[in-house]
Amino acid sequence: QVQLVESGGGLVQAGGSLRLSCAASGRTFNSYHAAWFRRAPGKEREFVARINMNGITATYAGSLKGRFTISRDYGKNTVYLQMNSLHADDTAVYYCAAGTNWNTMASAPHYWGQGTQVTVSS
């Protein structure tokens, strides 16, 4: 079992940056792949980025690559999402997720956090 707690959300102006954090507790987080998803108002939840358990491989939703960066700190059992050049349509609840199957991390990870709200004002 893995417990995930997101933080770092808030209100930011368009063009600004935020860094989200996802702190993991429970079983060793190093054994899990991790990912970020988001759900914008009135829309389905969508994949944002994933990183493998070794921290070597990361993939992104095509529209976000270049603005968002996923990373992980093994000593802190934490995964980060650095978000730059934010747009109003990046407004969403952002969720951290973890799982052991790399192939399904972008669609159906096993564990989810509660989410953190990001609001970008235009």
Asked whether residue 16 carries a pLDDT value surpassing 70, the answer given is yes
Q: What is the mean pLDDT of residues 37-55?
A: 97
| Structure confidence at residue 118 (pLDDT) | 98
Q: DSSP of 1-31, one letter per residue?
A: -EEEEEE--EEEETT--EEEEEEEEES-GGG
Q: Using pLDDT thresholds of 50, 70 and 90, give the confidence band for residue 1.
A: confident
Asked whether residue 27 carries a pLDDT value surpassing 80, the answer given is no
Q: Name the average pLDDT for the chain.
A: 95
Q: Using pLDDT thresholds of 50, 70 and 90, give the confidence band for residue 43.
A: very high
| Structure confidence at residue 29 (pLDDT) | 85
Which class for 29: exposed (0-12), middle (13-18), buried (19 or more C-beta within 10 A)? buried
Task: Tell me the pLDDT tens digit for each residue of 75-106.
Answer: 999 999 999 999 999 999 999 999 999 999 99
